[in-house]
Amino acid sequence: MSEKNLQPVRGTHDLIGADCRRYQFIRDLSYGLAYPYGYQPIATPIFEYAPVFKRTIGETSDIIGKEMYSFLDRGGEEITLRPEGTAPTARAVISNGLTQSMPLKLIYDGPMFRYERPQKGRTRQFHQIGIECFGIADPLADVETIDLGVHILKQLGIFERATLEINTIGDNSSRNAYRQALVDYFTPFTNRLSPDSQMRLTRNPLRILDSKNPTDQEIVEKAPIFDDYLNTISLDFFAKVCAGLDRLKIPYARNPHLVRGLDYYCHTAFEITTTDLGTQATILAGGRYNGLVSQLGGPEIPAVGWAMGIDRVALMLKEAPSPPRPVAIIPVGDEATLTAFQLTMDLRKEGFLIEFSYSSNVGKQLKHANKINACLAILLGGDEIAASQATIRNLDTGDQNSVAFSGLKDYLNHFMYPQLR
């Protein structure tokens, strides 16, 4: 096996130690905060039949055209590693007969895959947390969804370094009128547009507004504004979203050029961005996508949701959460080993974080206890076993106490409960 084969594939990386704790902390906090909003967990496979994405994301998107990891399996079926989580979740709602169980609020997390040029905050295997709210057409559902995202980022301590940007892309009628206006505007610039935008001009001109090409961006600056083509229904919907955000005192900035990069979005589009990560500014993004479920063959079901990039959020955390401090159980003498081992297993089953030392050298065991930042050391020797009590040393202060076996659990609960449980 070559040295190259022993390295992570380009665009991927291992999560070890502090990095892994960051990811776990973000995930656990997000789920914990989502449950009071009524969200329930869902997990979909990391690969789907390719049409799940081709029918929903849109042929003109970079995801479909350049970034999807697709392959033929041994049965000749075209399979795609999921590049995003919304379409698989909608597919799961349909295939599991959940379309009659509205409203439905779901939260998920896991790896996504896109073939992109790796850089800070953008990898080929990346991780997201997403929420999807199905079955509620009221614009206040959009506000509730945004509020949960803001709440999570506030609890992570990073929202003050971010900006919520929102826009409306209207209903189908408004979008059709705006599309035509964009075609009329961009057509005279066809030769100056990038090849990708030239293709988008005939298929989905709204995507030109998303272009990162400098020449395209220069042309986009004077493009028609969506507001001029919004009908009364679209204007009223967006006004209610803004009113809800105002009532909750959630600060936001209107970005008239913000459009979601996927075909199934309508009405509200939003992103939470930061200047901390250079060009990879978006840490959470989403919007309303009333047409997605029907595009996959299900009924017409309104929906709204977002996805948060765990990798990027992790980069914004000032430091990794500290791991809980364990308790070291140290047998003193061979005759105490089995008793100490049994005590270790009993306390672990009670939920305590216990480190059992397999060394017979007490000095080495105490050094190891300090190395792993244990807060207590429980020493068990022949005298302790005979007296049915343990010697407990506080490794921060050096103080020692004798505690009866029968009172050991209560002692540990009192001393360490906030850290360990």
Are residues 308 and 331 part of one domain? no
Are residues 414 and 287 part of one domain? no
**Per-residue b/e over 250-287, b at no fewer than 16 CB within 10 Å?**
bebeebeebbbbbbbbbbbbbbbbbeebeebbbbbbbb
Tokens describing residue 197: 């935008």
More confident residue, 257 or 216: 216
Are residues 341 and 276 part of one domain? no
Residue 187 has pLDDT above 60, yes or no: yes
Cis-peptide, bond into residue 251, ω within 30° of zero: no
Q: What three-state secondary structure class fits 59?
A: coil
Are residues 291 and 151 part of one domain? yes
Are residues 409 and 265 part of one domain? no
Q: Give the pLDDT score at 196.
A: 84
Contact 169, 267 (CB under 8 A): yes
CATH number of the domain where residue 242 is located? 3.30.930.10
Nearest to 89 by CA among 142, 48, 139: 48
Find the helix or strand (DSSP H, E) in which 339 lies.
Answer: helix 337-349
CATH number of the domain where residue 331 is located? 3.40.50.800
Mean pLDDT for 119-133 is: 90
Q: Give the pLDDT score at 418.
A: 46
Q: Give the pLDDT score at 416.
A: 61
Are residues 331 and 242 part of one domain? no
Q: Which of 261, 281, 316 is the last residue of a domain?
A: 316
Tell me the one-letter amino acid at 123.
Answer: T
Domain-located, residue 336 = yes
Q: Give the pLDDT score at 175.
A: 85
Domain-located, residue 186 = no
Q: Give the pLDDT score at 320.
A: 75
Are residues 68 and 15 part of one domain? yes
Q: Model confidence at 3, in pLDDT bands (50, 70, 90)?
A: low
Are residues 376 and 260 part of one domain? no
Domain-located, residue 206 = no
C-alpha span between 219 and 217 (Å, rounded):
5
Nearest to 377 by CA among 308, 327, 314: 327
How many folded domains does the chain comprise? 2
More confident residue, 41 or 10: 41
Domain-located, residue 70 = yes
* Whole-prediction pTM: 0.85
Domain residues for the domain of 298 are: 4-171+231-316
Q: Model confidence at 200, in pLDDT bands (50, 70, 90)?
A: confident
Domain-located, residue 193 = no
Residue 2 has pLDDT above 70, yes or no: no
C-alpha span between 347 and 217 (Å, rounded):
62
Tokens describing residue 272: 């939470």
Q: Model confidence at 120, in pLDDT bands (50, 70, 90)?
A: confident
More confident residue, 416 or 397: 397
Q: Which of 262, 290, 316 is the last residue of a domain?
A: 316
Mean pLDDT for 127-143 is: 97
Residue 263 has pLDDT above 70, yes or no: no
Residue 40 has pLDDT above 90, yes or no: yes
Distances in Å between the alpha carbon of 108 and those of 28, 34, 122, 182, 195?
A: 11, 11, 20, 36, 36
Q: Give the pLDDT score at 94.
A: 96
Tokens describing residue 407: 């009172």
Are residues 331 and 304 part of one domain? no
Tokens describing residue 236: 């009223």
**Per-residue b/e over 196-216, b at no fewer than 16 CB within 10 Å?**
bbbbbbeebbbbbbbbeeeeb
Contact 68, 55 (CB under 8 A): no
C-alpha span between 235 and 179 (Å, rounded):
17
CA-based end-to-end distance of the chain: 44
Domain-located, residue 195 = no
Domain-located, residue 277 = yes
Are residues 277 and 334 part of one domain? no
Mean pLDDT of the chain: 89
Mean pLDDT for 116-143 is: 92
Domain-located, residue 291 = yes
Quote the strand ranges of 18-145, DSSP E.
40-41, 47-49, 70-72, 78-81, 104-113, 125-134
Contact 147, 306 (CB under 8 A): no
Mean pLDDT for 7-29 is: 90
Are residues 403 and 374 part of one domain? yes
Q: Model confidence at 420, in pLDDT bands (50, 70, 90)?
A: very low
Nearest to 260 by CA among 210, 298, 300: 210
Q: What angle do CA 356, 362, 368 make, to 5 degrees?
A: 55
C-alpha span between 145 and 136 (Å, rounded):
11
pLDDT digit string (tens) for 314-338?
A: 999 977 777 888 999 999 988 899 9
Query: Which of 53-57, 92-96, 172-176, 296-300 shows the highest mean pLDDT?
Result: 92-96
Longest CA pairwise span in the chain (Å): 94
C-alpha span between 395 and 416 (Å, rounded):
13
Q: Which of 223-232, 271-280, 290-299, 374-383 bottoms out in mean pLDDT, i.e. has the lowest?
A: 271-280
Q: Give the pLDDT score at 421.
A: 42
C-alpha span between 144 and 11 (Å, rounded):
34
Q: Model confidence at 64, in pLDDT bands (50, 70, 90)?
A: low
Are residues 242 and 383 part of one domain? no
Q: Give the pLDDT score at 295.
A: 87
Q: Which of 283, 316, 349 is the last residue of a domain?
A: 316
